[in-house]
Amino acid sequence: MAKFVVEFEYNVDRAGRQGLHPAHAENLYRLADKGVLLLGGPLVGENSGLLVYEVETRDELQRILDDEPYVKGGLVARTRIQEWAPGKGSWITALNNSGNSSQEVPAVEGAH
């Protein structure tokens, strides 16, 4: 599975996004429940948001982004996408050390 960091830069302010916000939030909750969206939220002091997805392919990610209500509604001025290989940090350590001794926990891909 590949991880991607996605930044949406909006062409309207927060108030301008309110009409589509319920659909946007529902979409993100659905993706999170499926394990596709790992993290997401606004960048403080910016008119943009940052999301981390885990999908099989870049094409799958593109289909997800094309279905995003803010994108469909024309509220995203720019999308920046980077494939990411996280390997260090307290979250990685916690994921690799979770579980109990009777059950093996697979290492997070890219962890060093």
Question: pLDDT at residue 46 above 60?
Answer: yes
What's the rounded Cα separation, in Å, for the pair 110 and 88? 9
pTM, entire model: 0.81
Length of the chain: 112
Are 37 and 31 contacting, i.e. CB atoms less than 8 angstroms apart? Answer: yes
Q: What is the pLDDT of residues 76-89, one digit of tens each?
A: 999 999 999 988 88
Between the alpha carbon of residue 105 and those of residues 53, 87, 102, 110, the distances in Å are: 21, 16, 10, 15
pLDDT category at 102 given cuts 50, 70, 90 is very low
pLDDT of residue 13: 95
CA 52 to chain centre: 3
